[in-house]
A and B are shown apart, each in its own frame.
Chain A
């Protein structure tokens, strides 16, 4: 089962720690990621650039309005995501609880939704529209 783990951090707090400490924290995080990878738990993962690099798209009054900046402005930002392969929710929680990134900020662990049935139904509906008589 796949779990998406969202790691948050406070950029102001993070940049205010001494560089050597920050580097050590990163090293620990990447070392643990390697460990997850070696054990087949790390399905995918990416770090995010700061929130001020974000664009937000919103459908308003019949058109898509594009604004600069993040969807929500908060002190804690999404810093990175990991897609974990774990046996169940407790297993995913155990794996993330040892991630050195938990010392940087909070994490949210959520199971991925199984969309296969919804996608299948949608495909059937779309086929119906393309070939109404068949």
Chain B
């Protein structure tokens, strides 16, 4: 048997980096109390692994090896800095004397990741900052990958991350999972960031589609981590919601890159493994009787996916779910969705009345989907001229290329 080459070791170390760096970093941040120190120490440990593993052999527990090596690298780094700043000497000593890393026992490690998610999603940070920070520190994406996903430049993202870390350091935002009432409050912020990540990857049909799809997958993976540690109804509900939406991705865009609406989608192309898992999760969340808006939205998505054809959709149940959602989370967008469901259940005139009532209250007048939904109802009522005006309004307000193309197609069909 020949000795594994350095190149083979590099491949194996890269694989460890991909699968373990998130957890290692989270543990180091807890041990060292600093993002920068932890990040440096982890990268130094991976460099050390590349140098030492070919000679010493692949360790039995690479993660424990790397955490231990990183901890000593950090102690060295702090001692070196003491040359410039004597006040840091005691930190190195304290660190040297702290409880070493739990070796093979994994129980504590996922908890570190959860702490890190809560730190990255702290309410002191703006939500776009939270998303960028979570993607880099928890999901292990590079600044450049995050910039591509958000269709912006790497320096913009780098700046957000630098500022967020400075804020965490300066305001001494702790690395911990809050408890009691604060936990409930903060879970909402964490789930909101997870859902924001998902939607970044799901709704925007412009830009490099592959990278954006990966964002949705990352959001689902993140929620799975949360669920493992915190089986709260809304954590379950959000996972169900994302899986049920994600299940439709293969049918959402045509071969020509056009957006395909739910009722026109080829349902055989839906991901049925995701649907099965999503529906089981919805049922689990509903059965707790402590569910919230994500679970209700997931339940609505589940009703849609359970219908074999668009005509078989149980609109009565969807209307009831929207009414419950509206009672829990009043919002004009939810009202609009309910209006569309009511139009399907009771007829276009009933739905149109609800949308017109929204507009009369001054709501959603700049929201292209409201005009587009209204146009669809007018078209179904045979009021072609009014439908045309409404489609034109929608087109003027729409931003994504795929949506504009869809609206042009509808206008063309009106003749």
B-side interface residues, number (CB < 8 Å): 23
Question: Cβ of A35: which chain B residues have Cβ within 8 Å of it?
Answer: 80
Is B158's CB under 8 angstroms from A89's CB?
yes
Contact of A94 with B142 at beta-carbon distance under 8 Å, contacts A39-B43, A39-B47, A89-B158 already known: no
> CB of B161 within 8 A of chain A?
yes
Is B43's CB under 8 angstroms from A88's CB?
no
Task: Produce 1/0 per residue, A91-120, CB < 8 A to B.
Answer: 101110000100000000001000000000
- Cα A100 to Cα B83 in complex, Å, equals 12
A55 to chain B, nearest CB (A): 32
Contact of A87 with B142 at beta-carbon distance under 8 Å, contacts A40-B47, A93-B158 already known: yes
Contact of A111 with B154 at beta-carbon distance under 8 Å, contacts A90-B162, A91-B39 already known: yes
Closest to A39 in B: B44
Question: Cβ of A87: which chain B residues have Cβ within 8 Å of it?
Answer: 43, 142
Instruction: Name B144's contact: one of A28, A40, A88 (CB within 8 Å).
Output: A88
B253 to chain A, nearest CB (A): 28
Question: Cβ of A111: which chain B residues have Cβ within 8 Å of it?
Answer: 144, 154
- Cα A31 to Cα B157 in complex, Å, equals 30
> CB of B136 within 8 A of chain A?
yes
Interface SS of chain A: helix
Is B40's CB under 8 angstroms from A89's CB?
no
Question: Cβ of B47: which chain A residues have Cβ within 8 Å of it?
Answer: 39-41
B26 to chain A, nearest CB (A): 16
Is B80's CB under 8 angstroms from A90's CB?
no
Question: Cβ of A94: which chain B residues have Cβ within 8 Å of it?
Answer: 36, 39-40
Closest to A110 in B: B155
Is B143's CB under 8 angstroms from A28's CB?
no
Closest to B45 in A: A39
Chain B positions 332-356 with a Cβ under 8 Å from a chain A Cβ: none
- Cα A93 to Cα B162 in complex, Å, equals 9
Question: Cβ of A95: which chain B residues have Cβ within 8 Å of it?
Answer: 40
Is B36's CB under 8 angstroms from A88's CB?
no
> CB of B50 within 8 A of chain A?
yes
Task: Produce 1/0 per residue, B142-162, CB < 8 A to A.
Answer: 111100000000110110011
B156 to chain A, nearest CB (A): 10
Closest to B153 in A: A89
Chain A positions 1-39 with a Cβ under 8 Å from a chain B Cβ: 1, 28, 31, 35, 39
- Cα A72 to Cα B40 in complex, Å, equals 36
- Cα A41 to Cα B48 in complex, Å, equals 12
Is A90's CB under 8 angstroms from B40's CB?
no
- Cα A90 to Cα B160 in complex, Å, equals 10
B357 to chain A, nearest CB (A): 49
- Cα A91 to Cα B46 in complex, Å, equals 14
Question: Cβ of A39: which chain B residues have Cβ within 8 Å of it?
Answer: 43-44, 47, 73
A interface residues, Cβ below 8 angstroms from B: 1, 28, 31, 35, 39-41, 87-91, 93-95, 100, 111
Which 9 pairs from chain A and chain B are nearest by CB?
A88-B142, A40-B47, A89-B143, A88-B143, A89-B158, A90-B143, A39-B44, A89-B154, A90-B161
B interface residues, Cβ below 8 angstroms from A: 36, 39-40, 43-44, 47, 50-51, 73, 80, 83-84, 136, 142-145, 154-155, 157-158, 161-162
| 30 CB-based A-B contacts, threshold 8 Å | A1-B142, A1-B144, A28-B84, A39-B43, A39-B47, A39-B73, A40-B51, A41-B43, A41-B47, A87-B142, A88-B142, A88-B144, A88-B145, A88-B154, A89-B142, A89-B143, A89-B144, A89-B154, A89-B157, A90-B136, A90-B143, A90-B161, A90-B162, A91-B39, A93-B158, A93-B162, A94-B36, A94-B39, A94-B40, A95-B40
